[in-house]
Structure formats: structure tokens, C-alpha cells
Amino acid sequence: MTPRAWSGTPSGRASSSFNLRWPARASGNFPPSNQVFTGFPDRRLRAYRVRNTGVVRRAHCPPPGKEPTHVDPARKHVRRGNTLAIARLLSTSTDTAAVTNRTPRARCGYMTRRPRAFSVSGEGSARPRAMNSSTSSRAQLLRQGETRMYLPTKASRARVREAENACRNRAEILKAWSQGQVSRRDLIKMGVFTAGGALAFKNGLSPFAPSAYGAVPTGFPRSPLFNVQAFTQAMPRFDVLPRNPVSALNPAPLAQVDETQRHVLDPRLEGVRPGDTGPNEGRPPGPIWAHQAFGTFPPAISIQMTTEGAKANTAYSPGVTSNFNSGINASASFRPTFHPGFPDQGPLAMWTFNGTIPPKLMQVRYGEPVLFRHSNLLPFDVTQNGGFGRHTISTHEHNGHHGAENDGFTGAFFFPGQFYDYHYPIVLAGWRTINPTATDPKAGGPNDAGGVTKVPGDWHETMSTHWFHDHMFSFTAQNVYKGMAGMFNIYSALDRGNETINDGVNLRLPSGTLKSWGNLEYDVNLMLADKAWDANGQLHFDIFDTESGFVADVMTVNLAYKPFFEVEQRKYRFRILNGAVSRFFKISLSDASPMIQIANDGNLLPNPVTITQTDQLGIAERYDIVIDFSRYSVGQSVWMVNLLAHEDGTMPSSTLSLAQALAGSSSDPCVGKFLEFRIVRGPTGGSDPSQVPATLIPNPDLSAIPVARTRTFVFGDGATQNTNDPVTSFRGPWGIGTDGGEVLDADFGRISAAPSYGTREIWNLVNDGGDWDHPVHIHFEEGQILKRNGSSSNVPAWEKGRKDVYRLRPDGSVQLTMQFRDFGGMFMEHCHNTLHEDNAMLLRWEIDNGGAPFLRPLPTPIPTPQGVTFEPPTQILNTAF
Ligand SMILES: [Cu+2]
């Protein structure tokens, strides 16, 4: 395929309101890659000279070890007193039993091997597991025979108290850190973290001190259940966001931010002086961040949503009648709680979309571009966060095929009091070159009359099950855990959301018949997530082990503690999302009966796969499963069962047999039954008209497209950071090595890869160790897995479609191929164990040679309440271009 040049200046891009006096550029093809570019306009950028090869540092970057000259705006209110308080907390703690002769972790990861301490059966059980020195106290305990990873329910009061103390101490540190009062660098200096980024188990921080063990892996005592029994509440269906005309938006949406639309800033915002003003929209300004193809795909509907503190939901819209929602009365106020018998979540403990639960669902269709306006109503004061979470946000529509300005780039965050307009054109990949005149009957979206609106693009790229979540740089885990996750169903000619329309294109998957598209009666979104809370029932998060991840001790489905769901004797489609921050799941039915997997991630498989257990669902993976309940009689129940045990967030520690999981032999409280299906009646209408065809969506054939480039990314620990920009760079144990380079911590100002617009590449994703797993997410384009561990025969049937999350597996590797087309800008690749992502296994890649208005390289946005400024990349890897 010949790369197609960008066809000039899309509508709305020519606006002259860009306040940086962008250098004039000829439209059309991008300058040759060896051109020296000296044209950045503003003061900070003028000093910048870049060749497109070699490492580049900003002129004003201080030498290594020196403090940078500008600081995280959230640290304006740094209270030295807080640093002192933490130091005092560390020195006066009575918990002195922690192991003392511990060597800080070496750069490249000082590792010792120990036998896997805890395994019941199944995969990984025979594999030795490396422990670094910082967790050796745990190994020691385990060797002493203490394998219980959660506080026993009959633990002595003294032990509970000690675990609580350790937990409180860590919570204090997390609070100061999340509120910008101390930086990770301060914490390293204070010895809270090792230089490698691992939490040092010292002085009152460790729940593993021999007298205070337990409550692991949450790092604190078991979440109280307030005498509530499992399977005593109905599972709420998702809350469908209203779809409105674009005219409902005030102000009207624009291709490019109008920074003259300003408001007086609240002085509680970081870095704000009384009287300061800031733009109403927090999207970065200028043509590079204007909505691409806004004129080609003008928004047809609008969806508005806020993020705010927890409150009651008085507008719950499940999209189905009560008898398809287990009898829930949607007109009653829906409390912000994981169970009616639990306390409500306070507005600082839980931050959700619209401030309410159930979690939100967007229903969209091909051929109907969406303008999604997201307003940030979180507290202005960064310290009003209940101890974790950051009030600046960026929303990623995972894995939307949209321009990068709508991708929720981790550095394109916006502040309380602002909104951000995301333009979702909802297009089939390849629309610029494949089926450009929209004649293919399989390429389309459902219309309201039961027919199809044809769209350009490749129907083999049709997508179905997405989700959307916060992507705030280095705070994604905290914000997603706090409630910022929803789902996103895309309807198409093939996947109509109507099971009776028989036009030879519609696959007629289980859904419903009442509407021409988007029926939800038998098409059910399930979001799985583990949560933990304190004695008052308020959501709790811990930095216990940033090296591994955070796993909690209570299972929720759609943010409801172990619910039940009433079903008919017929087929249902379940769109299962792993919405946890670090936990993996493996699902079986309690009677081991078969399930049919029809999709993986956003995409229907080429062919359905019948399974009795799912593979491990990595964080952010989606598995669409069809279950046929016609084999059960009315009055029966069957349960979904989780077979995977964690002892920490690194990866699952063991797979249990179904019998073991049901017997409750695991010390991990999230193992076992988590969702009850109650078969309550026969199929409505007397029969089940839905189908699961033998052919779903074959893969696009890429064999004729030459491979322009092969890249290799190594995901490992012992990462280093070679930049020190306080806004764009972060430190942590995790990192990514690109094309043989060192394993580097995240810096969203660094360009690690820059594939050429219109080409296809092969990417190798390599896991650097056998003791952890990484579900790696590559934004924007769907990939096809070519090989696992070097061989195509290792790719299981359920991974033979297109994917956007690639579980590497311990010591494993994945080879995939992708194209880079349709849109440009900066995207990300990262581990979706969000604790790994935040600490700091994330990189930026970009498509910047599609033509004007894109610059090569792209300048990095630096959001402030007063407006977004830009700076040159902190670094460009010499293999990037
Ligand atoms: Cu990871």
C-alpha cells in the first residue's frame, strides 16, 4: 500500500488563534528526516535545537542530581512540615521488628531466587520465583511456614492493631505524595523508597514484621463486610449515558481550542494567584491538538459527563426494564455504596463519572461521530482527595481509533473547573484508503430503521467492546481505583445489538429485539474489580508494594460486592472487562459447563472458541463470552468462579482447580464464586432467536503490505531515569528498554518510537523476567499476534483475532504487527498493571510525519491552570525515527 499524503488542511485547522505563533509550514509532505529544525517559537523552546537522531536534552535541564529549575505545580503548597512529619513517623515508630540488614536494590535489580512459596496447583507452580532483597522478609516469613497472605479472620487484636499501624503510616505517606506535598525524590531521600523505586520495608511500614504479619497483599486488615452475606444484592446493569444533539452543548464545540474563552481561576488550584484566569477548555491549544478530520466527521451526537465526588444517583438509566435488571427499581435513588448493607462512599473516597454508580456505559455506532465533553468537577484543592487520587484527569477511550488529541494522552490532563472535548469519529481503520467511497455493505453502522449506514474503511477492522478510564500521568492506578472507569459499546453492521435482523450481514449475537440496534436485554457489560476499604467502609488504597501492584480483598462486579443476576433460559452475551488495577482473573462456571468466547479486547474473533475456563484476563483485557442458560431449569443457580490466586500484584501466584476454588482453600478472598446467575424464567417470546455464527470477523490480510520496520521493547525492572523534568518524568522500579537501549522510566516528554505514517511494522514485546507478568497496551491501532515465545503455534485460538492488550506471560514474548494510519499525534505504550504503568513502565510513541500541521518531533504539552504551554521533547531515542 502506498502511504497516502494528508490531503491538506482539514476543516477548522486553519484557525489563527494559536497563541504560540507556530512556525509557518508548507502543507503536504513532511520535511526529510535529516532536517535540522530550529523553529520552535516560544522562549523556552527557542534554545532548542534538534537533529532527528541522537539524544537531545533541554538546554535548561540541570545536571544529574541537581534539582530542576521548575517544579510540579501541585507542589506549590509544599509543606516542609509534612516531610518532617513523615521523617518523625519513621523514626518514632514502635514497629522496629522489620528486617534491618537489607541492601537497597541495585540498579539492575539485585535478585535472589527462592522457591515459589505458595501454590496450590496449575501454571507457574513449579517455577522458582525471584525475590529482591526488599521483600526478603516476606520470603523469610513464608519459609517459616507462614503462607497466609491475608490477615486471618481470627487474628489477635494486637496483630490487627500492628497491621493497622503499618497501614496508617503508609497511608500518611501516600496522602502526602498524592497531594503533591512530597515528591518521590523526597521519599527516596528519606529512605521510604529505594533508589530503584521499591518501598523500603522499614520502621512501621511493613506489615511483614514478624509480629505484624497478615493483611497482605492489601497491606492492611481485611475489609469489613458489616455482616453482609455474598449474593444478597442484585447486580446493577451499567448506567447508560444520554445521547443528545450536538446543539445541547454550550459552548458549541470547536475543532481547535479557543483560549480566549476563559474564566477566573479558583485560587485553591495549585500555582494560581487571585485574579488569574485560565481557559475553559483544558485541551492543549494550537493546530497540532485540533480535532483531526473534524470537518470530515462532524459530530452527530454529544455525550456530556463529569468526574466528581461520590453522591447518590437520581438519574440511573440501565437501558432495560426492571425485569432485565434483576428487579432493580431504576427510578429510586442509587446510593454510592458497594452493597446496600455497607456505608456510603464519601465524596473524597470515591471519584466516579458523574459522581455516581453504577459505572457508566456509552453506546455508539459507526457512522455517527460523537462529541464527548468531559467536565472536571473534582475539588480545586489538591489535598482534598481522601488520601489518594489526583484531581487532574485525562480520559482514554481504550482503544479508540481517533486522533491523538482525543486519546487521553497521559500528559494532556486538565484541571478542576475545566472541560475537555473529545471527538470520537467512530471510524473503521483504513478509511482513507480502503473502501473510501463506502460501498461495502459490511462496512457500516446500524441506522434507526433496521438498515445500515455505510462508512468508509475496512470492515475487518470493526470493533465492539471498549472501555474508558482515567490516564493521568503517574496517578492512573489511584484514579481508576477511585472509580474512573466505564465501558463503551460500539455497534456496527456486523455487531448490531439486534438478534433478529436477518440481512446476511448482521451476526445476530445475543442482545435483544426491541430496538433496531443497541439492545441490552441479553448483552450485559460486566466490570470486574477488586476493592478494599477501611473500618468505616471507605475505599482504601495503599502504596504497600509499588514494585508489584495493588491487589485488594473484595470482589466486585459493576462495583457491587458479589451480586446475583437474574437470567432467562437462553443465550446471553457478557462483555467482561478486567477493570482491576493489578489483579488478573481466570473464570469458570461453577458446574464447569462450556462458555463460548466470541471476542478478545475490542474485537470479535475470526471464529468463536468453546472453553470451560477462560485464559488469564490481564488488566484491561476484555473477553466477550456467550453463556447458554437453556441447559438449566428455572430456580437453579450457577456461579462465575475466579480460579486465580494472587499473593501480591506482580502476577497470579497460582491457578486453582475448580474444586479447590469452590472449596475455599485459597487464602486469597477474591478466589471462588463472585457472581451468581439465577435462572428465573423461560425465554421471553418463548424462544431464543440469537446466534453465534461459526465465522465472526476474519482478520484483515496484511501479507501484501511490506514491513517497514521491526522494533523491540523490553519490559523489565531495575529501570533508570535519565531525564529530570519534574512534570514529564517519573521514577519507579519499572521501565521499558527500546531497541537494545537501557530500560528507562517513563517520561512523556521522551519520544521512544516514531513509526512513519502509512506504514506497517512488527513490534516485539519482551518480558525481562519470569517473576512477573505485564499486560502491555498499545494505543490507537489494533495488532495481530504473529508469535508467542518465537512461534506462531503458541498463539491460542482466543488470541487469533485483533488485540490491544498483550499479556506477555512470565519470561514470555509476543510478536505482533500493526499499521499506522488515518491519524497522527502522540500515543502511548505501557503496562496495564496500572501500578507498573505509574512506576514507571510507560513510553510515548508518535506519528508525526503525516504532513501539516504536525511537527517532527512533536512538542510536549505542559498543562497548567492558566493554560497549556509546550516544551521540546526531553529526549529522542536515536532509534525512534
Ligand atoms: Cu507490568
Q: What is the pLDDT at residue 34?
A: 31
Q: Which is more confidently placed, 85 or 497?
A: 497
Three-state secondary structure readout of 262-286:
EEECCCCCCCCCCCCEEECECCCCC
- In this structure, the number of other CB atoms found within 10 A of the CB of residue 655 comes to 22
Per-residue model confidence (pLDDT) at position 851: 85
- C-alpha of residue 2 to centroid of ligand 1, in Å: 36
Q: Which residues in 232-369 belong to E strands, given as ranges?
A: 239-240, 262-264, 277-279, 301-309, 351-353, 360-365
Distance between Cα 580 and ligand 1 center (Å) = 13
Exposed/middle/buried for residue 412 (C-beta within 10 Å: 0-12, 13-18, 19+): buried
C-alpha 649 – ligand 1 centre gap (Å): 9
Distance 462 CA to ligand 1 centre (A): 28
Average pLDDT over residues 374-382: 97
Residues 6+ apart with CB under 8 A from 664: 671, 672
- State in Å: Cα 668 to ligand 1 middle: 21
How far does the centroid of ligand 1 lie from the alpha carbon of residue 252, in Å?
Answer: 40
213-222, 280-289, 636-645: lowest mean pLDDT where? 213-222
Q: Ligand 1 centroid vs 708 CA: distance in angstroms?
A: 28
Q: Which residues contact 36 (CB under 8 A, 6 or more apart)?
A: 49, 50, 51
SS3 830: strand
Is the pLDDT at 94 greater than 70? The verdict is no
Question: Which single residue is written with the C-alpha cell 494532556?
Answer: 412
Task: Point out the least confidently predicted range of 56-70, 236-250, 860-874.
Answer: 56-70
CB 759 within 8 A of CB 820: yes
pLDDT of 179 reads: 81
Q: What are the Cα distances from residue 69, in Å, to 43, 63, 72, 385? A: 15, 11, 10, 27
Find the 491 Cα to ligand 1 centroid distance in Å: 31
Round to whole Å and give the CA distance between 98 and 197.
Answer: 19
pLDDT for 150 beyond 70: no
The end-to-end CA distance of the chain, in Å, is: 20
pLDDT of residue 788: 98
Rounded (to 5) percent helix, strand, coil in the chain: 10, 25, 60
pLDDT exceeds cutoff 60 at 429: yes
What pLDDT, on a 0 to 100 scale, did the predictor assign at position 852?
A: 86
823 Cβ contact list (under 8 Å, min separation 6): 292, 293, 401, 402, 403, 404, 780, 847, 850
**What is the distance in A from the centroid of ligand 1 to the CA of 831?**
5
In percent, the amount of the chain with pLDDT more than 90 equals 70
What's the one-letter identity of residue 600?
A: N
Distance 662 CA to ligand 1 centre (A): 29
C-alpha cell at 133: 532483597
* Ligand 1 midpoint to CA 332 (Å): 41
CA of 651 relative to ligand 1 center, distance in Å: 9
Give the span between the Cα atoms of 40 and 859, in whole angstroms: 9
Give the mean model confidence (pLDDT) for residues 240-257: 97
Residues 307-343: b if buried by 16+ CB within 10 A, e if exposed? bbbbbebeebbbbbeeebbbebebeeebbbbbbeebb
Q: Is 37 helix (H, G, I), strand (E, B) or coil?
A: strand
What's the 582 CA to ligand 1 centre distance in angstroms? 8
Mean pLDDT, residues 485-508 taken together:
98
Predicted pLDDT at 180: 78
Question: How far does residue 736's CA lie from ligand 1's centre (Å)?
Answer: 10
> Could you tell me the distance, in angstroms and rounded to a whole number, from the CA of residue 251 to the centre of ligand 1?
41
H and E: helices and strands count for the chain? 8, 43
Q: What does the buried/exposed string (b/e) look like for 348-358 if buried means 16 or more CB atoms within 10 Å of the residue's CB?
A: bbbbbbbbbbb
Reading the block at residue 665, the C-alpha cell is: 482453600
Report the b/e string of 81-114 with b at 16+ CB within 10 A: ebbebbeebbeebebebbbeebebbeeebebeeb
Highest mean pLDDT among 54-63, 136-145, 452-461: 452-461
Segment 219-237, tens digit of pLDDT = 567 899 999 999 999 999 9
Q: Is 54 exposed, middle or buried (0-12, 13-18, 19+ CB in 10 A)?
A: exposed
* HSE of 869, CA atoms in CB hemisphere, 13 A: 12
- Report CA(549)–ligand 1 centroid distance (Å): 8
Angle at 737 between CA 736 and CA 740, to 5 degrees: 165
| CA 394 to ligand 1 centroid distance, Å | 21
Determine which of 68-77, 635-644, 812-821 has the lowest per-residue pLDDT on average. Answer: 68-77
State in Å: Cα 773 to ligand 1 middle.
6
Cα 262 to averaged position of ligand 1 atoms, centre (Å): 40
| pLDDT band at residue 182 under the 50/70/90 scheme | confident
d(CA 617, CA 558) in angstroms, rounded, equals 16
pLDDT of residue 550: 87
pLDDT at position 139: 35
Pick 483 or 184 by higher pLDDT: 483
Distance between CA 633 and CA 568 in Å, rounded? 10
Give pLDDT, residue 420: 98
Q: How far is the CA of 315 from the centre of ligand 1 (A)?
A: 37
Distance 837 CA to ligand 1 centre (A): 7
Q: What are phi and psi of 481, to 5 degrees?
A: -60, -35
* CA 763 / ligand 1 centre spacing (Å): 17
pLDDT tops 90 at residue 650:
no
698-714 burial string, b = 16+ CB within 10 Å, else e?
Answer: eebeeeeeeeebebbbb
Q: Is the pLDDT of residue 575 over 50?
A: yes
Q: How far is the CA of 843 from the centre of ligand 1 (A)?
A: 13
Query: What is the tens place of the pLDDT at every residue in 727-767?
Result: 999 988 899 999 999 999 999 999 999 999 999 999 999 99
pLDDT digits (tens, 9 = 90+) for 517-544: 999 999 999 999 999 998 999 998 876 5
How many angstroms separate the alpha carbon of residue 65 from the centre of ligand 1?
27
Structure confidence at residue 547 (pLDDT):
63
Work out the average pLDDT over 764-783.
94
Task: Evaluate if residue 111 carries a pLDDT over 50.
Answer: no
Does the structure show a pLDDT above 70 at 68?
no
How many percent of the chain have pLDDT more than 70? 77
In the predicted model, what is the mean pLDDT of residues 3-30?
Answer: 30
Please report how many Cα atoms fall inside a 13 Å half-sphere around the Cα of residue 404, on the Cβ side. Answer: 28
With residue 607 as reference, give the H or E element that holds it: strand 603-611
Choice among 86-90, 424-428, 466-470, 843-847 with the minimum mean pLDDT: 86-90
Query: Average pLDDT in the 251-263 region?
Result: 96
Q: Based on the number of CB atoms within 10 Å of its own CB, is 140 exposed (0-12), middle (13-18) or buried (19 or more)?
A: middle
Query: Residue 69 is which amino acid?
Result: T
State the distance from the centre of ligand 1 to the C-alpha of 836, rounded, in angstroms. Answer: 5
Residue 637 and residue 560: Cα distance in Å, rounded? 19
Query: How confident is the model at residue 177, as a pLDDT?
Result: 76
Q: With contact defined as beta carbons under 8 Å apart, do 828 and 843 qualify?
A: yes
Tell me, in angstroms, the distance from the centre of ligand 1 to residue 329's CA: 40
Cα dihedral sign, 565-571-575-580: positive
C-alpha of residue 771 to centroid of ligand 1, in Å: 11
66 or 232: which carries more pLDDT confidence? Answer: 232
Q: Report how far apart, in Å, the C-alpha atoms of 365 and of each of 404, 427, 593 are.
A: 20, 9, 33
Write down the pLDDT at residue 200. Answer: 56
- Would you say residue 711 has pLDDT above 50? yes
- Tell me, in angstroms, the distance from the centre of ligand 1 to residue 397's CA: 20
Four-residue CA torsion sign, 702, 703, 708, 709: positive
Q: Is the pLDDT of residue 846 over 80?
A: yes
Is the link from the previous residue into 251 a cis peptide, with omega within 30 of 0?
A: yes
The pLDDT confidence band at residue 189, using thresholds 50, 70 and 90, is: low
- Distance between CA atoms of residues 823 and 404, nearest Å: 7
CB 542 within 8 A of CB 218: yes
Pairwise CA distance, residues 151 & 213, whole Å: 7
The mean per-residue pLDDT over the stretch 820-843 comes to 96
Amino acid at 336: P
Residue 651: band (very low, low, confident or very high) from pLDDT cuts 50, 70, 90: confident
369 C-alpha to ligand 1 centroid (Å): 34
Helix (H/G/I), strand (E/B), else coil: 568: strand
Contact between 588 and 613 (Cβ < 8 Å): yes
Whether 367 has a pLDDT exceeding 60, the answer reads yes
Residue 619 alpha carbon to ligand 1 centre in Å: 9
List of residues 6+ apart from 728 with CB closer than 8 A: 411, 473, 747, 748, 749, 750, 860, 862, 871, 874
Is the confidence at residue 461, as pLDDT, over 80? yes
**Cell numbers 532548542 label which residue?**
48
CA 193 / ligand 1 centre spacing (Å): 19
More confident position, 240 or 535: 240
Q: What is the mean pLDDT of residues 82-95?
A: 43
| pLDDT higher than threshold 50 for residue 132 | no
Evaluate if residue 154 carries a pLDDT over 70: no
Q: Determine which of 281-285, 355-359, 776-780, 851-855 has the lowest per-residue pLDDT on average.
A: 851-855
Q: Give me ligand 1 centre to Cα 583, in Å.
A: 11
Ligand 1 centre and the CA of 833: distance in Å? 5
For residue 375, pLDDT beyond 60: yes
How far, in Å, from the CA of 840 to the mean position of ligand 1? 9
Q: How far is the CA of 742 from the centre of ligand 1 (A)?
A: 17
With bands split at pLDDT 50, 70 and 90, how would you rate the model's confidence at 845?
very high
Q: How much distance in Å is there from the Cα of 712 to the middle of ligand 1?
A: 16
All cell numbers assigned to 733 = 522500579
Whether 193 has a pLDDT exceeding 70, the answer reads no
Q: What is the pLDDT of residue 19?
A: 28
pLDDT given for residue 198 in this prediction: 58
Mean pLDDT computed over every residue of the chain: 82
Ligand 1 centroid to Cα of residue 735, in Å, is: 9
Q: Is the pLDDT assigned to residue 32 strictly greater than 70?
A: no
